[in-house]
Amino acid sequence: MELLLTVGIVILVVVILFLLIFWGYYNRIIRLENRIDNSWAQIDVQLKRRADLIPNLMETVKGYMTHEKETLENVTKARSALMNAKTPQDNINADNMLTGALKTLFAVAESYPDLKANQNFLQLQDELTHTEDKISYARQHFNDSVLAFNNIVETIPGVWFAKRMNKTVKEMLQIPIENREVPKVKF
Amino acid sequence: MLVEDHIKHNKRLTFLICGFMALLFLSVIFAFGYIYFGNIYISLFFGLPVAIIYIGITYSFSVQTVLSAAKARPANSRIREEKLLMYKVEEMAIAAGLPIPKVYVQDSNNINAFATGKKPEEAIICATTGALQKLKTDELEGVIAHEMSHIKNHDILIATVTIGVVGAIALISEIVFYSMFWGGAGRGGRKNEGNAIIMILAIILIILAPIFSRLTYLAISRKREYLADSNGAYLTRNPEGLAKALESIKNDTSSGKPKGSKTVAPLYIANPFKSQSINSIWATHPPLDERIRRLRSM
């Protein structure tokens, strides 16, 4: 009778311990997943912000850069690509295209001293650079969050709990090398 | 070593040192109780709540204290340098996954920056105008990343609590001295000879504790600085930026008395009181050369 009671208590303790550990891992996995969603939303906010700044920029420069049709068109094209992007990777690719197009535009703007002196232009340039930096860091944070999530979901004992929760490894964002344009400036 | 290894190493050391500090604090309270009441539990019952309240009060006022001591003002977005500083703070907050801290500026020729705030949601980062003018973009970014790491690691909380413990130990020590001077010790029952030895040990502990606690606090402070360096390097993925900034600080020969008392020194990125010997155990910050070396080895 004594033995049965002891065995019963031991089993109860083990079950409670297991449930506590499961509770801990379950919540941790959910939190890390939420962090990933949140950091993607951050990227999205910055991408939209950049897309919103472009029309302003176009208005400011078009009076000055009347002979740079191709450069200006590239920016507008890239912006539409960004607005139409569907998947996270699409977004990143379109974003790279836009960054390249803007780099060329700002390089070309160097030969227009009147434009460079325009306060509006300077402020837009500052803010566009700032938005690009924010996108870059938001992407970094996204990948950091994915790393933390993947680490939990792939190592023991997280891997057992993750299987029960139907959670699998997530993909990080890649920056395609071909999309990095070197600005070609024609004088 | 990879940046991640530096981070793990620094975190482990901090735990060890904080554990030692906690042990020291408890032994002091026990010793106090033993000397006065012959019973360690009474002092624990009274002493611990008092210590906690003392630390709580210093913590509540920490932000106002630091800001007014430093004479800091909110950053002005109309000045381009300060606008760019606000941009950098926002970028680092995104990289760290933290809410954006408020940005303050201190008018001073020195290159320096500090972080304060009761919790990451109410944090403040301040940089000197000297830093804004003399540092390049990647150097400033490294400095801001370092400060952001302090916020993320709850270093302000750790620093305030640790200083509070140091203060509490010093206070208890002084109480014991003054009362012994006026002949009040030994009220507790002394039942046999063995107690006299413990009594002596308790008194020695009380005498040495303030020095040990101060040294421990300084060791914690230095380790947290290394940790903020490694975390900051991880945020920017560019340890060289902060390394160059530290070099600029080293070579900066501008004069001007640093503002603020010595207690706020640990919150700065570099010790504003250069007269303090940089290589000793009494320094709040690790030597600049060693910090640069570690950053460049990542």
Q: Which ipTM was obtained for this model?
A: 0.78
Nearest to B94 among A126, A141, A145 (CB): A141
Optimal mutation site among A37, A126, A133, A142, interface B, most CBs of chain B within 10 A: A133
Confidence of residue A186 (pLDDT cuts 50, 70, 90): very low
Handedness of CA A17, A23, A29, A31 (dihedral sign): negative
Q: Work out the mean pLDDT of chain A and round it to a whole number.
A: 85
How many contacts (CB atoms, under 8 Å) link A and B?
Answer: 29
Give the bridge partners for B125, in sequence order: B103, B115
Taking Cα atoms as reference points, which of A184, A38, A37, A174 lies closest to residue A96?
A: A174
pLDDT at A20: 93
Catalytic residues of B: 147
Distance (Å, rounded) from C-alpha A106 to C-alpha A181? 14
How confident is the prediction along chain B (298 residues), in pLDDT tens digits per residue?
566 777 777 778 778 878 888 888 878 777 777 777 666 666 667 767 777 787 788 778 777 777 888 888 999 988 989 999 999 999 999 999 899 999 999 998 888 898 888 888 889 999 999 999 999 999 999 999 999 999 988 888 888 778 878 887 887 787 777 776 665 545 444 445 556 777 787 778 888 888 888 888 888 888 888 889 999 999 999 999 999 998 888 887 664 455 555 555 556 777 665 544 455 666 778 888 888 888 888 8
For residue B80, list chain A residues with Cβ-Cβ distance below 8 A.
126
Please judge whether B91 and A140 are an interchain contact, meaning their C-beta atoms are less than 8 angstroms apart.
no
- Beta-carbon contacts of residue B111 (< 8 Å; ≥ 6 apart): B128, B130, B131, B134, B135, B245, B248, B249, B252, B270
- Residues B239-248, buried b or exposed e (16+ Cβ, 10 A)? bbbbbbbbeb
Distance (Å, rounded) from C-alpha B114 to C-alpha B133? 16
Distance (Å, rounded) from C-alpha B131 to C-alpha B129? 5
pLDDT at A14: 95
Two structure tokens written together for A112 = 């227009």
Neighbours of B81 (CB within 10 A): 15
Nearest to A137 among B83, B84, B94 (CB): B94
Nearest-by-CA chain B residue for A143 = B95
Distance (Å, rounded) from C-alpha A127 to C-alpha A75? 16
Please check whether residue A49 touches B, CB under 8 A: no
Distance (Å, rounded) from C-alpha A146 to C-alpha A132? 21
Least confidently predicted of A44-48, A135-139, B84-88, B157-161: B157-161
Optimal mutation site among B81, B82, B89, B91, interface A, most CBs of chain A within 10 A: B91
pLDDT at B278: 52
How do beta strands B113-116 and B102-106 pair? unpaired
Secondary structure, 3-state, B246-264: HHHHHHCCCCCCCCCCHHH
pLDDT at B25: 80
Distance (Å, rounded) from C-alpha B141 to C-alpha B128? 14
Length of chain A (residues): 187
Go through the domains of chain A in sequence order and give each one's CATH number.
Answer: 36-179 (1.20.1440.20)
Taking Cα atoms as reference points, which of B221, B237, B236 lies closest to residue B269?
A: B221
Is B111 within 8 Å of B134 (Cβ atoms)? yes
pLDDT at A10: 94
Is B51 within 8 Å of B172 (Cβ atoms)? no
Please check whether residue A174 touches B, CB under 8 A: no
